[in-house]
Amino acid sequence: MKRIAETSPSPRARITGVVYLFYFLMTVSAQFFVGRFVVYDAANLIANMCYIVLTILFYYMFKPVNRRLSLLAALFSIAGCIIGILDLFHLAPSGISPLAFFGPYCIFLGYLIFRSGFLPRILGVLMVFAGLGWLTFMSPLAKYLSTYIMALGILAEGLLMLWLVLKGVNVQRWKERAGKT
């Protein structure tokens, strides 16, 4: 973890984007294996592990913006991943959806992006809306809005992932933030 923290922010941001891309690929590929339980479960387990790594990378990326909020966001994400993994093995507590954790995670992450200055603010706004959308899945509105919520979530997270892969972060602004902490 210390090496991650010491790495230059631009390559680290691109690595974060690549891990995000791998997560997306594993999540999408898992959908092709619905009904083939072993392969489906394996793909989802790998996707969850990728998201845990992604969470740690995001924690270090946004630690200079607000260390406590970045940690809180990471805890929410890891809790969601754990619930998702337990659910794969039918061990999750009944009635607890991982989206109850991923919704706040996306909201916190969106706020951190918006405040960071080293990523476009529109990505932060989109992530906040995606987080609110994920929380909507836990309400009766979900059956009416699920297609739109999924599209918004995929758009927000997909744009963030692409930005990180293609552009990284504004290194000067990240270093300014890191220098203040």
pLDDT per position as a tens digit, 84-107? 999 988 898 878 899 999 999 999
Q: What pLDDT, on a 0 to 100 scale, did the predictor assign at position 3?
A: 54
Q: What is the mean pLDDT of the chain?
A: 90
- Evaluate whether residue 49 is within a structural domain: yes
- Evaluate whether residue 87 is within a structural domain: yes
Print the domain residue range for 9.
2-175
**Cα distance between residue 55 and residue 48, in whole Å:** 10
- Evaluate whether residue 180 is within a structural domain: no
Structural domain tally of the chain? 1
Q: What pLDDT, on a 0 to 100 scale, did the predictor assign at position 5?
A: 47
Tell which residue, 136, 52, 39, has the closest CA to residue 88: 39
Per-position DSSP letters for the chain, written without gaps between them: -HHHHHS-HHHHHHHHHHHHHHHHHHHHHHHHTTT-HHHHHHHHHHHHHHHHHHHHHHHHHHTTT-HHHHHHHHHHHHHHHHHHHHHHTT-SPTT--THHHHHHHHHHHHHHHHHHSSS-HHHHHHHHHHHHHHHHTTSTTHHHHHHHHHHHHHHHHHHHHHHHHHT---HHHHHHHHHH-
- Evaluate whether residue 181 is within a structural domain: no
- Evaluate whether residue 57 is within a structural domain: yes
pLDDT per position as a tens digit, 16-65? 999 999 999 999 888 887 767 788 888 999 999 999 999 999 999 999 99
**Cα distance between residue 79 and residue 49, in whole Å:** 12
Are 24 and 50 contacting, i.e. CB atoms less than 8 angstroms apart?
A: no
- Evaluate whether residue 165 is within a structural domain: yes
Q: In which band, very low, low, confident or very high, does the pLDDT at 79 lie, cut at 50, 70 and 90?
A: very high
- Evaluate whether residue 48 is within a structural domain: yes
Q: Tell me which residue has tokens 């592990």.
A: 49
pTM: 0.90
- Evaluate whether residue 109 is within a structural domain: yes
**Cα distance between residue 6 and residue 164, in whole Å:** 18
Residue 98 sits at the vertex; the CA angle it makes with 19 and 3, to the nearest 5 degrees, is: 30
Which pair of tokens denotes residue 62? 């946004």
